[in-house]
Amino acid sequence: MARRLLDRLLLLSVAGLAGAALLAEAGRWSPWLDLLGHFRLQYAWAALLLAALLLIRRRRGPALAAVLVLAVQGWHLLPLIPPPSGDGAAGLRVVSLNLRYDNMQVDRAVDYLLGSGADIVAVHEALHHWPGALERLSAAYPHRLEQPVDWLGTMLFAKKPWAAGENRMLPFKLRLAWARFGEGSEALTVVTVHPTTPFWTDEQPGQYGAMAEIIAALPGRKLVLGDFNQTPWSPLMRDLAERTGLRPASLWPSFPAWLPPPLRIPIDNAMATPGLIRRAATGPAVGSDHLPIEVELAP
């Protein structure tokens, strides 16, 4: 009886997993189905586990279905795995953090930013109590791009001055700030973005289109990081990479921070000119529902 119940549970699980994974493939044509596509890492882990259990139970047909789900997820995920970082001296360090507008652990977040060793810091949702709290960064980061009061708090801080920079609201309520460091062929433009969540609005396609147009027009080497509110394998992110020539840098899950890593999704990310990023990873929890993204550039 128990074995029969287990078999039924496994069959229902693989059927539900295959159904969700199949619907996720239609995400390009439906923003609601696209939400299912954010969980490809979880689909891969679940498919691997189910395939193993079904083979143990000698249910080869359902096990094959689980393997097929795993293969499809691998087709989406494996090309995004960054190459191993080379040895040698490191270049600039950049940190991006969605502070969360109602995060009251102010000192914890600011202490992390000050201790991160970053040369450039990008923050989002710096509303209400945050602008005053971030004044503590002024001594270490005297150069910053402010945001208008009614924006959703996108700010850029740097230890050294930039040659040019801008922080403005773009069409479709896209928050984007950029700063160019250096001149000529060695110039580096750091862009930080925060598109709106896909749950409540239909603005993301327009935002990503505007983002691609602006980033593609920026000269030289580029690093784009922030809270993308999309996973690196989503259609919008793939289109952004194709239109700008940039490569996603990490699959480290960052959201929501309070869940264990296997249950998080990587919507906080970085993408850059190929070969520019030496290392990318998530930082520690600092009271926000997002983990920070830490990026180390090649010299």
* Number of Cβ within a 10 Å radius of residue 182: 14
Closest alpha carbon to 268 in 241, 299, 237: 237
Give CATH superfamily name and number for 93-297: Endonuclease/exonuclease/phosphatase (3.60.10.10)
Model pLDDT, residue 103? 85
Report residue 9's pLDDT band, with 50, 70 and 90 as the boundaries. Answer: confident
What was the pLDDT predicted at 1? 64
In this predicted structure, the answer to whether residue 279 has a pLDDT above a threshold of 70 is yes
Strand partners, 292: none
pLDDT at position 178, please? Answer: 92
Higher-scoring residue by pLDDT: 12, 31 = 12
Instruction: Say how far apart CA 258 and CA 285 lie, in whole Å.
Output: 8
Single pTM value for the model: 0.90
Q: Is 231 within 8 Å of 250 (Cβ atoms)?
A: no
Query: Would you state the pLDDT for residue 298?
Result: 85
CB 145 within 8 A of CB 128: no
The per-residue pLDDT of the chain, averaged, comes to: 88
User: For residue 16, what pLDDT is reported?
Assistant: 94
Beta bridge partner(s), residue 297: 277
Burial class of residue 3, CB neighbours in 10 A (0-12, 13-18, 19+): exposed
The 10s digit of each residue's pLDDT in 218-259 is 989 999 999 999 999 999 999 999 999 999 887 789 999 999
Span 35-89, pLDDT tens digits = 999 999 999 999 999 999 998 888 888 899 999 999 999 999 988 887 766 555 5
Is 116:284 a contact under the CB 8 Å cutoff?
A: no
So what's the pLDDT on residue 90? 67
In this predicted structure, the answer to whether residue 273 has a pLDDT above a threshold of 70 is: yes
pLDDT of residue 86: 58
Instruction: Place 204 in a pLDDT band, splitting at 50, 70 and 90.
Output: confident
State residue 87's pLDDT score: 59
pLDDT number for residue 152: 66
- The per-residue pLDDT for 89 is 59
* Spatial contact of 119 and 158, defined as CB atoms under 8 Å apart: yes
Q: Is the model's pLDDT at 132 over the cut of 90?
A: no
| Structure confidence by residue, pLDDT tens digits, 137-183 | 888 999 988 765 555 678 899 999 999 998 877 777 778 899 999 88
Q: What is the pLDDT of residue 59?
A: 87
